[in-house]
Structure 1
Amino acid sequence: MARAADHIAKLEAERDRCHARLEIDHHFAMVGENQLERREIPLDQRVDEPDGIEARDCTIALQDSRIASLEAEREALREALTNMKAAFDGLRPMPLVLEPIAKKLSDEAARALLPRQDRLSGKGCGE
């Protein structure tokens, strides 16, 4: 009988450890205007609680969506810079007053069009 009680205690401890890792053993509630209070979730109510893995997956999906949006925006800006550089490079004869501005914009556009690692001393990130 004692072995069974020990085994049950070990299983309950493992369940509690897993629930803590899944973050379904508690949640936070607002108390007052800007204070959070940790509240334990009763064992019988944890089945319906969204777990940490679901939250992580949603965060990753949201992040992937935002990255795709930023990549599309970057490509649109890259195209605009390419067009701007071509316009300035093809502006001949250029009025003397515009020449330094056009040169600076053209050089900056050319630099911005390089892949990021090429702008970091010829090395990739972390190198």
Structure 2
Amino acid sequence: YQAAIAAPSEGATPWAPLAMVKSLLASAYRCDGGGSLTLIATVGNDSELADRIAGLSNAELHVARGAGGRVELDPVASRSEYIDGFVPEDQRQALSAARAQLAKAARPDAIHRAAENAANTKSSAELRALLSS
């Protein structure tokens, strides 16, 4: 899965991007044979929306805030190891390099928040329950 989500335009439903994120995460969890999700959400100066998107992360997701108001979510190795055997070596290397670049770009507070969220999320079942609400 790959998706890009833009901040809501003037007059739009303010949390529509958040609903899209929940839908994408739920779809990724329903993939047969495993799967991964890379999501880049451009939120501009909407720090509340950025925090809410970051709050959807759990032990299976990295969260980083980049320049220009971007929030980036990327699956950690534990989520994608299952499919690595089905991905060509050059693509695995490219994915690994992209993850390393994302981790390097992550702000310390985003990493800390992701770690806290991971500690607070007991299981994928809880995340699925959250997504279905």
Q: Give the shorter-chain TM-score range.
A: under 0.3
Give the structure with higher Rg (CA): 1
More helix by share: 1
- Under a length normalisation based on structure 2, what TM-score does the superposition of the two structures give? 0.26
Structure with the higher strand share, 1 or 2: 2
Using the size of structure 1 for normalisation, the TM-score is 0.27
Q: Which fold has the larger relative contact order, with Cα–Cα distance below 8 Å and residues 6 or more apart in sequence?
A: 2
